[in-house]
Amino acid sequence: MRRELFEPEHEAFRETVRTFVTKELVPHLQEWEDAGQVSREAWRAAGAQGLLGFAVDDEFGGGGVDDFRFNVVFDEELVNAGVSGFGSPLHNDIVAPYLMKLANDEQKQRWLPAFCSGELISAIAMTEPGAGSDLQGIRTTAIRDGDEYVLNGQKTFISNGIMSDLVIVVARTDPDAGHQGISLLVVERGMPGFERGRNLDKIGQKAQDTAELFFNDVRVPARNLLGEEGQGFVYLMQNLPQERLSIGVAAIASATKILGITQEYCRERTAFGRPIGKFQNTRFELAEMATEVQIGQVFADRCVQDHVRGELSIEHAAMAKWWLSELNKRVVDRCLQLHGGFGYMTEYPVAKAYLDSRVQTIYGGTTEIMKEIIGRSMGF
């Protein structure tokens, strides 16, 4: 199917990304999976290639082009190459908008150049042991004391958690004000009382460092408040649609890739004297998945177009996130079945995709929460 989402400049950018991914990332995948994190050299190489912060103003070292289609290209090429641990989607798609929209001039000068060069790796800390999709349930507190906030609490499942140099922490600056008491504070590497727990052992995305973070009387300068005090929950609601769309983009890219691999496998693998693709059950399975993937891609591209125009709604972002992530889970599972015993071997891409993509229906807001958002938008 011909996609109408991209212009020639996006396709030229795709070639740049593909070359970078093939040269700088793919040769190190197993090394990084064994280590549980990617190298800082890879981050700096991405920065040197202009692949970090390309939506950031050029005066701060960014590309100066705020067009989410470039994010989509980068995200798709990572999926196509089987790179599930490089944290650039978090850096570019999720953290960058907070810094671009909320940081003041002094903060931008302090953080964005290194953000774009790859010298500074970013993360955002929302989830807590007792609060995941329910962001209003967070317990981490940041109490003002003169020109500082005293930060106490714990976060978990934080992507880029081990390597991050800058963490946007969601905390309660007014414990009695409900969602109006939530603020965003930027915690930097080396602040006393800021400690990282273990690099969590996940079933997939092994090269993506994912950590517990602990804040014990961390004195965060008031100048590290991001945006206005008490507006953190509003900022999260404004930025979560792009995060969810980013997850949906990766999900449909994964489904497309694995379906293509499985089609080739079904042409080559024989059983009872003929390719397994010749059996009606296999053809029907492939036909169903091909149809669903095409429909999913059309919806994903439409959401991206809406987002580029500034028209993506909260409920459509939720639809994209839950439908595309659930579709990917279903497609990968069915493709693994068609691979038979070989699909259970981690050397096969379908097995890795099965492990890497399972979290997509959980992070960024679970499928159940996405349906709740959609249902409420319908007046229920």
Regarding predicted confidence, which is higher, 176 or 295?
A: 295
Question: What would the mean pLDDT of 177-186 be, rounded to a whole number?
Answer: 93
Question: What would the mean pLDDT of 262-268 be, rounded to a whole number?
Answer: 97
Query: How does residue 266 score in pLDDT terms, banded at 50, 70 and 90?
Result: very high
Residue 364 has a pLDDT of: 93
In tens, the pLDDT along 338-359 reads: 999 999 999 999 999 999 999 9
Query: How does residue 245 score in pLDDT terms, banded at 50, 70 and 90?
Result: very high
For residue 125, how far is the Cα from the chain centroid? 13
Question: What would the mean pLDDT of 44-51 be, rounded to a whole number?
Answer: 97
In tens, the pLDDT along 102-152 reads: 999 999 999 999 999 999 999 999 999 987 777 778 999 999 999 999 999
Query: How does residue 179 score in pLDDT terms, banded at 50, 70 and 90?
Result: confident
Q: Measure the CA angle with vertex 26, ends 21 and 29; round to 5°.
A: 135
**Computed over its alpha carbons, how large is the radius of gyration of the chain?**
21
Asked if 229 contacts 246 with a C-beta cutoff of 8 angstroms, the reply is no
Look at residue 204 and tell me whether its pLDDT is greater than 90: yes
Query: How does residue 309 score in pLDDT terms, banded at 50, 70 and 90?
Result: very high
- pTM beyond 0.85: yes
Question: For residue 144, which phi and psi values (nearest 5 degrees)?
Answer: -65, 130
Residue 131 has a pLDDT of: 77
Closest CA to 180 of 188, 190, 172: 172
The helix/strand/coil state of 254 is helix
Q: Count CA atoms closer than 13 A to 146's CA, side-chain side.
A: 3
Residue 264 has a pLDDT of: 97
Whose tokens are 């004297």? That residue is 273
Q: Point out the residues that are catalytic.
A: 243
Q: What residue ranges in the chain does DSSP mark as E strands?
A: 122-125, 141-145, 148-159, 166-172, 182-188, 194-199, 210-221, 225-226, 270-271, 274-275
